[in-house]
């Protein structure tokens, strides 16, 4: 394996995941939240592909491609929802959507 050993990739992936999680937890605009989810998905992809390289089999890459397809589908639906929200002039702020208050 050229370049860094696997531990570097693990750490990098973790940091990306944590960043994405921070974005989900801290931002109020649903678009930004969706982008942060993308970051998290990509961090998982990175780790998958790194492990695939480590073990010499393509299974990780197959998995990563499936993840990409699913992420794309999810983005389609999420953006569709956001557009619908925008059309109804609902304010794009997740803190305003509080009807599930207990």
Partner 1 sequence: MATASWVCLLLPLASAIAITAAGTAIPRRIAAYVSTLTTMGAFVAAIVAFADMAGKSAPHRGAATTSWTWLSAGPYHFGLTLLTDQLSIVMMLIVTGVGSLIVAYSVGYMDGEDEERRFFAYMSLFVFSMLLLVQGGNLLLLLAGWGMVGLSSYLLIGYYQERESAIKAAKKAFVMNAFGDATMALALFLLIQHTGKLDYAGVFAGSPHGGAVANLIALGLLGGAVAKSAQIPLHTWLPDAMEGPTPVSALIHAATMVTAGVYLIVRCHPLFENAYVIADLAAGLGAATLLMAGLIALVQTDIKRVIAYSTMSQIGYMFVGAGLGAYPNAMFHLMTHAFFKGLLFLAAGIAIHAVVGEQDIRKLAGVGKLMPFTKWVFLAGSLALVGIFPFAGFFSKDAIIAAALDRGWYGDVIYAACLAGAFLTGIYAFRLFFIVFTGEPSAFAREHFHAHHGQEGPISMLWTVGALGVLSVVGGLLQFAPIWHPLTTWLDPVDHPIAEATSTQEWVTSALAILIGLAGIGVAWTMYGAKRIKVPRAVPLFEKKFYWDELYDVIWYRMGDLVARGFYALVEAPLIGGSIAAVTGVVGLGSRELSVAQNGLVRSYVLALAGGLAVLTVVFLAVR
Partner 2 sequence: MANFLVWVVWFFAAFACLASALAVVSFSNPFYSALALIGNLASLAVLYLVLSGEFVAAGQVLVYGGAVMVMFLFVIAYLGDRTDESPWSGGPSWQIVGAILAGGAILAEVCVVVGLKAGGLLSKPQHIGRSFGSPEALGRAFLTDHLLAFEVTSIVLLVAAVGGVVLGSHARQESDARA
Structure tokens that stand for 9 in this block: 């990739």
Q: Which is nearer to partner 1, 6 or 24 (CB)?
A: 24
> How far is residue 66 from each of residues 22, 71, 101, measured CA to CA in Å?
25, 9, 36
Q: Which residues contact residue 27 at a Cβ distance below 8 angstroms, ignoring those fewer than 6 apart?
A: 33, 36
* Interaction residues for partner 2, span 3-62 (CB under 8 A): 3-23, 25-29, 31-32, 34-36, 38-39, 42, 45-46, 49-50, 52-56, 58-59, 61-62
Binding site for partner 1 (CB under 8 A): 21, 24-26, 28, 94-95, 97-102
């Amino acid at each position: 394996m050229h370049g860094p050993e696997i531990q570097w990739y693990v750490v990098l992936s973790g940091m990306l995941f944590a960043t994405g999680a921070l974005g989900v937890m801290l931002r109020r605009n649903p678009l930004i939240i969706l982008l942060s989810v993308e970051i998290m998905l990509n961090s998982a992809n990175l780790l998958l592909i790194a492990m695939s390289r480590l073990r010499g089999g393509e299974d990780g890459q197959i998995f990563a491609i499936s993840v990409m397809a699913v992420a794309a589908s999810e983005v389609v639906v999420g953006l569709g929802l956001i557009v619908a929200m925008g059309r109804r002039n609902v304010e794009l702020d997740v803190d305003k959507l509080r009807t599930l208050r207990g």
